[in-house]
Structure 1
Amino acid sequence: MIWYTVLVLAVGAERLAELAVSRRNARWSLARGAVEHGRGHYPAMVALHTALLVACLAEAHYAHRPFLPALGWPMLAAVVLAQGLRWWCVTALGPRWNTKVLVVPGLPLVTSGPYRLPGLRHPNYLAVAAEGVALPLVHTAWLTAVAFTLLNAWLLAVRIRCENAALAPAGTAT
């Protein structure tokens, strides 16, 4: 359980690093006239992602979930791959990447990195969904995996509609 706690705390630290990048990028975007969209759903996103980390540890500890190597190791690999995909998205979007929906008028859509792959319009959200299943299942916290997946599906439906509408003037929404 100690190693799982370290993993979840490392993911939490990664989230804090994302927020630092996001704040820096928000300043860049706002300085260029960015318009924010979807302010209403953002607090729910923050709460859900925070709850995921807390619930992973709580369920694993209080429900005495074991580490099952046949499940845990592949799920750990999925968590690592999800992080890689997330940071590939951050790198491809550069200063435009943000945890909020900030759109700088006049900038074209990004079509490099994972955004160039056909059929993968929202690669960052694929990473979020994969991590939301895999991180809890590293230590068989299946209730957390199911609850996060259901709530995240609802939230992503809202977020993707918002993002697509905000990016529509720039071309086909990513």
Structure 2
Amino acid sequence: MEMATLLFLGFIIVQRLSELVIAKRNTAKLLAKGAYEVGAAHYPVMVAMHSAWIACLVIFGFLEAVSYGWLALFAVLQVLRVWILGSLGSRWTTRIIVLEEPLVVRGPFKYLSHPNYMLVVAEIVVAPMVLGLGWVALVFTVLNAAMLWVRIGVEHKALATLRAA
């Protein structure tokens, strides 16, 4: 295994695990403020899908050489990730948590409705391509599209209910 491949895969694993810790902390804080969760039923499916994506990267990519062009694009996506998470602050979580406060409209949310989902779509393509795993990018793009169709529908329904109240 090349050192660059090991570092890349290690980064993805550490990043995703640390995000779960941050999300759990933020979710607890939001729920303590009176927020509530919607769409909890699909959450385990989403976690399983993302876990399978990472497993495919590790299992099928650990002997592959890193494509530095794709890696550069992945690095740009990480800058966007920091911007998105920084813009949401303590309201960022991996769950759909509804808080009866105005939506965040700063940072990328000033320009896009779902910048984090768009980022994840890009990462699901770009990360496998760093390791030359086009088929992983394709399979998980289709699975993620189905997941986002469900998730965004649930989110929009919850927000419409909130606005109507």
Same fold (TM over 0.5): yes
- In structure 2, the CA distance between the partners of 1:167 and 1:130, relative to structure 1 (3 Å rule), is same
The correspondence of residues 89-168 of structure 1 with structure 2, limited to 5 A, is: 89-105=84-100, 107-117=101-111, 120-168=112-160
- In structure 2, the CA distance between the partners of 1:169 and 1:89, relative to structure 1 (3 Å rule), is farther
Instruction: Quote the offset at 1:78 in angstroms.
Output: 2.0
Instruction: Quote the offset at 1:140 in angstroms.
Output: 0.5
1:26 matched residue in structure 2: 27
Instruction: Quote the offset at 1:169 in angstroms.
Output: 4.5
Cα distance in 1 for partners of 2:52, 2:73 equals 20
Instruction: Quote the offset at 1:168 in angstroms.
Output: 2.5
Cα distance in 1 for partners of 2:27, 2:131 equals 35
One-letter amino acid of the structure 1 residue matched with residue 96 of structure 2:
V
Cα distance in 2 for partners of 1:84, 1:169 equals 33
Check whether the contact 1:92–1:114 (CA below 8 A) recurs between aligned residues: yes
One-letter amino acid of the structure 1 residue matched with residue 99 of structure 2:
V
Cα distance in 2 for partners of 1:151, 1:19 equals 20
Cα distance in 1 for partners of 2:65, 2:22 equals 35
- In structure 2, the CA distance between the partners of 1:154 and 1:35, relative to structure 1 (3 Å rule), is same
One-letter amino acid of the structure 2 residue matched with residue 133 of structure 1:
V
Check whether the contact 1:82–1:128 (CA below 8 A) recurs between aligned residues: no
Moved more, 149-158 or 73-82: 73-82
Instruction: Quote the offset at 1:104 in angstroms.
Output: 1.4
Cα distance in 1 for partners of 2:68, 2:115 equals 23
For residue 82 of structure 1, the aligned residue among 69, 73, 77 is 77
Instruction: Quote the offset at 1:80 in angstroms.
Output: 1.5
One-letter amino acid of the structure 2 residue matched with residue 48 of structure 1:
M
With normalisation by structure 2, the TM-score equals 0.90
Cα distance in 2 for partners of 1:82, 1:166 equals 28
Instruction: Quote the offset at 1:170 in angstroms.
Output: 5.2
| Structure 1 alignment gaps of length 5 or more | none
Cα distance in 2 for partners of 1:142, 1:89 equals 26
Cα distance in 2 for partners of 1:114, 1:74 equals 25
Instruction: Quote the offset at 1:66 in angstroms.
Output: 4.9
